[in-house]
Structure formats: structure tokens, C-alpha cells
Amino acid sequence: MADRGLDLPQGTLDLLILKTIAVEAQHGWAIAQKIQLISSDALRVQQGSLYPALHRLERRGWIKARWGASENNRQAKFYELTRKGREQLDAQSETWRRLTVAVGQILDHS
Amino acid sequence: MLSDLRYRLRALFRRDAVERELDSELRFHLDKQIALEMASGASRAEAERRARLLLGGIDQVKESDRDVRGISPIEILFRDLRYAVRLLAKSPGFTLVAILSLTLGIGANTAMFQLLNAVVLSSLPVPDPQELVEIQMNDPDLDQARGSFNQYPSLTNPIFERIRERQQAFSSLIAWGNETFNLAPAGEIRRGRGLWVNGGFFNTLGVQPILGRVFTDADDRRGCGMSPGAVISYDFWQQQLAGDPAVIGRTLTVQAQRVDVIGVTPPGFYGLENGRTFDVALPICSIDVTRPNDNALTNGVLWWLKVVGRLKPGWTPAAADAHIRALSAEIQRDTLPHNYPAVSVKSYLASTFITVPASGGISSLRDRYARPIRLLLAMTGLVLLIACANLANLMITRGVVRSRELALRLALGASRARLISQLLSESLLIAAISAVAGLLLARVLSGSLVSLMGTSRNPIILGLTIDWRVFAFTAGTAALTCLLLGLAPALRASRGAPGDVLKAGTRGVTRDHESLTLRRTLLVAQVAISLVLVVGALLFVRTFRNLVNTPLGFQQENVLTIDAGLPPPSPSADVSRELKRAIRERLAAVPGVTGVAEASIIPLSGQGGNNQLWLDGTDPKSSHEAWLNSVSPGFFKTMGIPLLAGRDISDQDRPATTRVAVVNESFARIFIGGKNPIGQRFWIEQTSNTPEVVYEIVGVVRDSKYKDLREAPISHAFFAMNQSFGTPRPGGTFLVRTALPPEQVSPAIGKALLDVNPNLRFTTRLLDGMIRDGMTRERVMATLSALFGALAALLAAVGLHGIISYTVERRRREIGIRLALGASRGIIVRSVLQESGTWVGIGLTIGVLASLALTRTAQTLLYGVQSSDPVAIVTALTGLALVALLASYLPALRAARVDPMTTLKDE
């Protein structure tokens, strides 16, 4: 599968999920598609690990789920950020940025 | 944290819903993915294949999702419980026995605790009960106080009014007195529980009427008559007035006075005294109408009011106490009654008032029953312990049976903690079910306990609620039970190297031995505890028997006591005397009546009066106490008290003639020292309503009980009713001895009384019934402790039988061999009995030592028997030894019937 996209480092899936639903509530499939789309197909979400991740976040109280109608009027489970989730998103984005900058600096240092 | 819990709980309890949701969520995902793949040209089948591949298999996703949801400790518990349910369902016999015995045990304990809670622990159902304190006279001072006491301890109205005037510590004070009211308009008395209250009583307590209104401070005024009306209790309204919605304004007859109902108090408010309730409350100023001769409001020697204050904000009970103590001298100076006996004035002026907490209400019930209830609770606790020991024994047996299974699971890598928690969950389940059932049972039991404690005339009314304390107690008991039941067997069963057990084959010999030690320890404990309980039971049974068999000095059977009198206004003294004489004469003429007399005090009715007496010619300081009664001629004959010397009181003893007295043997011994008392004269100290006068002894009678069954012989002087001081009241207390059963005569007696005067109010009571009621506490203790003792012995026997059977089963092979080698059956039986005898003996020895140490706490409740009573101990020992012998004899006999051939072939 490596040829079809990058595997996600441990723990980054949570961050990506939080970011993806930051603007509006999404259902699981849409979250997977969106991550793939925005990363220009560079990242491929293993769909099998998406749902356990979603439910883990739900359990932590970072996101919450509700049932609603999807585009074609079928019932789907939509996930949205909670206040706690938004705080987590901010904090983790910041950490991620600092991490990538730091790692980048070391790699660029010749 | 909260979301976590909610999520897990939902995952736990709505398992199916959660799984269904996950299903449809994944289904939706697949459909979307399939649609996407088909849009890019794949066939339906191909699209489905790709979508599934991408998702990575629905079952795998579901499984890892379940991991996320987590096997929470709750779910583990849940699983263990389900496992426990399966296990218990497999052995319904054990389960039934366990749950039944624990339900009984926990139920009995909870019921006792409910009682303890209601009588001792709980607060009054009024707002801010902790602000309430009672004002009393210091105990030693109260002992010196003179006058008549309606209840004890109590204060006079002048003292109450003075305290109310002077005190700073309380935002308001309340006062109340109890009296049994006659609620019948005429004829036979209908008893109602009456309450005299000051105007602020209900408002200070924060009791809002559910109908009408309550009294106010404006109702505290002299000469109010019956105009303020009456406040009735909810129960009285419901039961006596059928819940009449138009009850306000309805007229009641109270003490022959007509009074309007002005309000109804809410359900659950019974007044301030535990175990008592009231039917009708009247303001204290109305007492001048119902008891015009007493002048209760100004009378400084009539002690009838209880006084409670509500602390002002910022006042601590200690500060209020200091304040009230400091006011004492001033209050006593201001209230000193003009007629107070001169010799006692000094102690009156020097007496001190104190405060005691009243948040739990005022309770003579607590004084009488706090200790018995605690003891009974301890007893039920011990019975529960024995029951637990029995069940633990059974659990161990089950553990031994399962030891191979457990060893296998240990060997396969299960952690010991998991095994223990699994084994414990079984007892947790049993304990939990029993706790719930016990709580339900307790509701029934505590109700019947309360009715057992009351008498028909004085039923005890308690608000038996199941509050947090009761809940906590039951939960705690259940948790403890669970641990006792499960922990030892669980620890045991999971110990030891699994290899050994598996190697040891089906019998698990090594651990078997270990379990036997544990069982024997349990057995010893059981026997010891049941001995303590049986000894306790015997002590209380003996106490009760001693009381019942106490020589009274009079014949209590076939005697009716009759209270009869005319309502106010009182006629002249002559008319009253004539009425009393007519009543006696008319009663004596009733067929079946063999004796009639009047007495101011009915023996053992709880009433009494005493004073200081000294022989004529000796120093008044050499006085002794004597208990007094005024009686009519024929009293001794009617009561069956033998006259030993001299003569009875006679109708010739009149106010104008020499004052005469009949004394008892103890009086003669203490005052005269064995010399002939006839013709001796003695003086009696002045009281608030009698002068210092001299009496001449004209007769001596045998000792008889006066106020208490338990009292030692006391000096007793009987005066002539006709020579009493003060205005005689138009009526009195009469004693009637009948040749027929009194119940058959009492209708004719009622008719005879109305013949004398149709306005007479009267009530009758059996003398022996009244005396029996006085032994209620001892009867309750004897009955319940005997019940618990028997239960303990039975449980111990069951336990012993179980363990001996088990031992015999274990020794089956050995016994078989011994029989085969020629041992006689007698030897086998003896050896089994010897073994059980050893352990029972150890248990009994420990039990004797424990009972010697423990029963001492019950000494104050015993009568005529020491807590270390050898008879009780020896009886208990013999009884339990016999029970133990029987319990081990059956299995021993079975052992001796072992057929050696079959046993040996089995191996």
C-alpha cells in the first residue's frame, strides 16, 4: 500500500480527524475522503483504523456523535468537535508544527 | 472523565444498541465506498470487494472497536457476575439456603438497626433540630425538689415563664406536658393522648398545619378557657374523625369540655417525644378549665412541663448552658412557692438549671431501650456471623470441588487476582440479593418489633424510615458478609502451585488438609459465638422468669382497677366523700365481687409518693424515707395483703379522730427495730400541701411491692383515705376483687357506676394485665434473645453436622481399612465423636470465657441473676454439648456403616 500513499505516523490520525471536522460535522466516510483529498492523495487513511479512532476520541469527550441525514438522505453518524476537542486540536496542532519545524531544522542542517 | 464513564456505561448496558449502531455506521461507509468505486467504472461485485478490502474486514474493525470501548472493570465485574449467576444456578439448593439465611440475617440486623436509628440516632423531623436544647433542673437538685411530678424530669409553669422572661440565648422557648385525655362525652372513658403546649410550640418547631392553623403566642393568656380551640394530629384526624375534610370548626369533647378543632398537623409529626404521639393538643392556659383545683399555671410545686429552646443564631449550646446556669439563682428566688416545705427551701434556692441537647427529641423510650436495642443488634450480628461461617464452609466445599478447574486456569495463565475476583463475585451476588431482600424483610420486622415493645394502652409510635443511615448499614453489612463468605475460600482456592493440585488427582489432598484447618477454625468460632448467645438468652429468660415469679406480697389475679370521677365543677367535700362511699357500696353489691377498696396509689402502677418520717420523741434529723398510700377500709383484704397485727383502717377513722396508719414489716423493722409497733407514733415532714403531723400505728401488714417489681423491701405507710388533707376529689381509684373472671363482671360494674351517678366518667383495667405491661422490656429481651440463642444453636449444629460429614467422607478409605482390619463399629463411632468433641470442646471453652467477658455489659438489664450466673453457663454448655453430640452422631453412625469392600474396591 505504500505506493498508494504515506502511512500515518502513530497518533497523527487523531489530529487529522480533529482538524477535518473542525469546520463542520462529518460522517466517517467523508472524513476519510477529505483527509485523502486535502493531502492530495499523499496520505491514505487506513479505513479499518478510522472507526476505532473515532470512538476512542468520542470516549475521551473530544468529539461527539449524533445521527443525522447524509447527502442522499440516509441516516449517518456525524462527528463534531466538542469544546474540549477544540482545545486539543489547538494544542496538538501547535505541538505538531513545532515538532516538524524542529525535525526539519535538524534534517536541513548539513 | 464523565464522558468516559458515560461512554463505558452505555457500551456496557446498551451493548446491543452500540453494536447495532456500529453495524449501520460501517454499512453506510461501505455503501458510500462501493458507490465511489462503481462511479469509477468497477462492476458491483468488484466494487464491493475493493470496498471491503479497503476497510479491512468488518469483523476486524468491530473487534478493534470493542477494544477501544474497552473491557472496563465494570464489564469485568459484569462478566464475573454472569459467571456467578451461571454457577449459582447450577446448584440451586446451595443458592437457596445461602440467600434465605442471609436474607434473614441481614433483615434482622437491618430491622434492629432501624430501631436503633429511630430511637437513638435520628433527629426530630423538624427544621434545624440541632438548634434545640432542653432546659432541665440539674439531676441532684431535682431529686431534692418537692411537689407532685406528672413526668420526670420536668419544670413548673412559674419556672418556665420566668426563664422565658429572663433568658437571652433562645429565639423562642416551647413547653409542653402530657396527659391522657378523656374524649368521650359521657360514660366510659375514651382515652386520647393529650398534649398541653404553649402558644409558640408549633411555630418554633416549624410545624405547618396541613389544615386550618396552629396556636400562636397570643394564645398564652391566663383565663383563656377553651376558646383557643384544639389542634389535632394527622393520625387522629384520619383514624378517629375519618379524615373529615370539614374538620375545622368541628367540636370535640376533651375532659368533658367542648372545644373546636382549629388545625391539623402534618403526617409524621408526633411531638417531641420519641415513641409517643398525640391526638389532641390544647394550649396550656386551657388546663385551668379541665383541672380547676390544681392551679397548674401558678402552682410552684406541680412539675409537669418539659421546656425546650431554639438557640439564637450565634449561640452555641455551651454558651446557652452557661447562660441558663447563671440565671438559676434569680429564677429560683423569683419562683419560690409560698407553700414550699420550710426544710427544703434552701435546696430549692440553690438548685441549678442546665441544658441538654434535644435534637433527637426527648425520649424516655431511649433511656429504657437504647441499651436493649444495642444488645439485640449485637446478638443479631453474631447470628449473622454464624450463618456466614456456615456458608463459608459450604463455599470452601465448593472451592475444593472446583480446585482442579481453578488450578487448570492458573496453569493456563489466568492471574490470581482474576480468579479471586471471580470467586468473590459469587458471594457478592449472594450478598447483594440478600441485602435487597433483607431490606424488604426489615420493613416488616421492625414494624412488629415496635408493636412488641408497646402495650395496648401505650402503643409506641415511631417514624421508621429507611434513611441513608439504614441504607449505609445494610450495604455495609452486606459487604462484610460478602467478604466473610467469599474471601477466605477464594484466597485458599487460588493458592498453591497448580501443578501440585493437578498431580494430586481428583482428591486434591494437600489443599484438602489446609481447607480442613480453616473449617475447624470456623467451627470453633461458631460454637464459641453460639455459646455466648445461648448464655445471653438464658440470662434474659431467667430475668423475665424472676420478674414474673417475684413475690408481690398481694394477689394480682382477678382484680380490676377502676378510675372513676365526676367532671368539673367539683362538688363540696362532703358530697365527694359521700360519692366515694356510695361507689364502694354499690360496687360491693355487684354479683361476683368479693372485695372493694379505694386507694390513692395502685401498687406497681408506676405512681408513688414518699416523705421523711421520724418516731415521736426522736430528732427529726434521724428521719427515714417511707412510701405512702392512702386507702379505704378493706384495701388489705381486697388486695390479699395479710394483716399481721393490730387492725385495718376503719370507717371510724375520720378527720376529727386520731390520725392512724398501718405500716408494713419493713417499716416496723427500720423505724422501730423489732419492738411492737402498735401504738407507736411517728411524725411526717411538712409538704407544700400537708402540714407536719403525727400518726399512730394501728396495724402491721406483710411487705408488698409498691412502685417497681425490682425494688428491695421498702418502708411503707398506709393512711386512712378519710383523713387525707385537702379537698377530696369527686372520684378516685377503686380496686375490685372478683370471684368470677373480671371480664364477666366488668359490664355489671359499668352499670353499677352509672347507677351511682350517670355523670361518672370511668375506665377499668386488669391489675395483673397492668403489671404484665410493666415487664414489656424484659419480655421483649427474653423472647428475642431466646429466639436468637436457639437460632445460633441450630446454625452451629448445622455447621457441625456439615463439617463432620465432610471429615467422615474424607476418612472413608481409612475407615474402610480399619473396619477390614477388624475394628468394631463402636470404635469408629467413638473416633469420629472424639474428633468433633475436641473442636467443640475448644469452641465451648472459648465461648465460656467470651460470655464471662461480654455478658457483663448486660448486667443492668438483669434481675435476680448475675451476668456470670453459673446455672446459665452450665445449662448452655450442656445444651450445646448435647446438640453437638447429636449433630456429630449421625455422620459418625454413617461412617460406621461404611462397607469396607466397596470402599476398598473404589480405590
B710-719 pLDDT per residue, tens = 888 999 999 9
CA B10, CA B8: separation in Å to the nearest integer? 5
Averaged pLDDT, B595-609: 90
**Mutant choice from A47, A57, A81 vs B, greatest count of B C-beta within 10 A:** A47
Nearest CA in chain B to A4: B54
Question: Over 90: is that where the pLDDT of B321 sits?
Answer: yes
Question: Over 50: is that where the pLDDT of B510 sits?
Answer: no
Is residue B314 packed enough to be buried (19+ CB in 10 Å), middle (13-18) or exposed (0-12)?
Answer: exposed
Q: Do A47 and B65 touch (CB under 8 A)?
A: no
In contact, B699 and B646? CB cutoff 8 Å: yes
**Mutant choice from B54, B74, B75 vs A, greatest count of A C-beta within 10 A:** B54
B72 min Cα distance to partner chain A (Å): 12
Closest to A28 (Cβ–Cβ): which among B2, B29, B67?
Answer: B29
The model's pTM is 0.74
Residue B358 has what pLDDT? Answer: 87
**Mutant choice from B3, B10, B26 vs A, greatest count of A C-beta within 10 A:** B3
Residues of chain B in contact with residue A28, where contact means CB-CB under 8 angstroms, are: 25, 28-29
The neighbouring-strand residues paired with A27 are: A78
Res. B891 pLDDT band, cuts 50 70 90: confident
Res. B906 pLDDT band, cuts 50 70 90: low
Preceding peptide of B569 cis, ω within 30°: yes
Question: Over 80: is that where the pLDDT of B354 sits?
Answer: yes
Residue B880 has what pLDDT? Answer: 92
Question: Over 50: is that where the pLDDT of B841 sits?
Answer: yes
Neighbours of B708 (CB within 10 A): 12
Q: Is A48 on the interface with B (CB under 8 A)?
A: yes
CA B243, CA A15: separation in Å to the nearest integer? 70
Poorest-confidence range of B28-32, B361-365, B649-653? B361-365
Averaged pLDDT, B816-823: 84
A105 min Cα distance to partner chain B (Å): 36
- Helix, strand, coil tally for chain A in percent (to 5): 55, 15, 25
Question: Over 90: is that where the pLDDT of B847 sits?
Answer: yes
Q: Do B55 and A29 touch (CB under 8 A)?
A: no
Res. B539 pLDDT band, cuts 50 70 90: very high
Res. B634 pLDDT band, cuts 50 70 90: very high
Question: Over 70: is that where the pLDDT of B465 sits?
Answer: yes
Tell me the residues of chain B between 2 and 41 that have a Cβ less than 8 Å away from chain A: 2-4, 7-8, 21-22, 24-26, 28-29, 31-33
**Beta strands B230-232 and B257-264: pairing type?**
parallel
Q: Three-state SS for B743? A: helix
Q: Do B4 and A59 touch (CB under 8 A)?
A: yes
Contact residues for B424 (Cβ-Cβ < 8 A; gap 6+): B482, B486, B487, B490
Residue B495 has what pLDDT? Answer: 65
Candidates B510, B492, B501; CA nearest to B408 is B501
Cite the DSSP H helix spans in B117-263.
Answer: 139-144, 157-166, 201-205, 234-240
Res. B76 pLDDT band, cuts 50 70 90: confident
Q: Three-state SS for B593? A: strand
Res. B28 pLDDT band, cuts 50 70 90: confident
DSSP string, B70-109: ---HHHHHHHHHHHHHHHHHH-HHHHHHHHHHHHHHHHHH
Tell me the residues of chain B between 53 and 72 that have a Cβ less than 8 Å away from chain A: 54-57, 60-61, 64-65, 67-70
Percent of chain B with pLDDT over 90: 39
A98 min Cα distance to partner chain B (Å): 29
Percent of chain B with pLDDT over 70: 94
Closest to A55 (Cβ–Cβ): which among B33, B60, B68?
Answer: B68
Averaged pLDDT, B735-757: 91
Residues of chain B in contact with residue A48, where contact means CB-CB under 8 angstroms, are: 55-57, 60-61, 64
Res. B508 pLDDT band, cuts 50 70 90: very low
A54 min Cα distance to partner chain B (Å): 9
Residue A2 has what pLDDT? Answer: 38
CA B599, CA B597: separation in Å to the nearest integer? 7
Residue B757's region, left for phi above 0, alpha for psi from -120 to 50, else beta, is beta
Q: Do B29 and A29 touch (CB under 8 A)?
A: yes
Question: Over 90: is that where the pLDDT of B649 sits?
Answer: yes
Most trustworthy range by pLDDT among B115-119, B124-128, B737-741, B804-808: B737-741
Q: Is A87 on the interface with B (CB under 8 A)?
A: no
Query: What are B771-787's pLDDT values in tens digits?
Result: 988 888 888 889 999 99
Q: Do A48 and B21 touch (CB under 8 A)?
A: no
Residues of chain B in contact with residue A58, where contact means CB-CB under 8 angstroms, are: 3, 7
Residue A5 has what pLDDT? Answer: 62
Most trustworthy range by pLDDT among B65-69, B85-89, B158-162: B158-162
Query: What are B689-704's pLDDT values in tens digits?
Result: 778 899 999 999 999 9
Residue A109 has what pLDDT? Answer: 82
Q: Do B28 and A56 touch (CB under 8 A)?
A: no
From residue B655, alpha-carbon distances to B206, B598, B725, B731, B866 in Å are 53, 17, 9, 18, 49
Predicted complex ipTM: 0.87
Averaged pLDDT, B171-175: 93
Nearest CA in chain A to B1: A60
Q: Do A48 and B28 touch (CB under 8 A)?
A: no
Res. B290 pLDDT band, cuts 50 70 90: confident
Residue B907 has what pLDDT? Answer: 55
Sign of CA dihedral B436, B441, B442, B444: positive
Residue B494 has what pLDDT? Answer: 64
Poorest-confidence range of B124-128, B227-231, B244-248? B124-128
A94 min Cα distance to partner chain B (Å): 24
Cite the DSSP H helix spans in B626-706.
Answer: 635-639, 665-667
Pick A110 or B213 by higher pLDDT.
B213
Residue B502 has what pLDDT? Answer: 62
Most trustworthy range by pLDDT among B118-132, B252-266, B396-410: B252-266
Q: Do B7 and A58 touch (CB under 8 A)?
A: yes
Poorest-confidence range of B16-25, B560-569, B591-600? B16-25
Closest to A55 (Cβ–Cβ): which among B56, B57, B65?
Answer: B65
Residue A3 has what pLDDT? Answer: 47
Q: Do A48 and B67 touch (CB under 8 A)?
A: no
Averaged pLDDT, B142-148: 79
State the DSSP code for A23: S
In contact, B505 and B458? CB cutoff 8 Å: no
- What's chain B's average pLDDT? 86
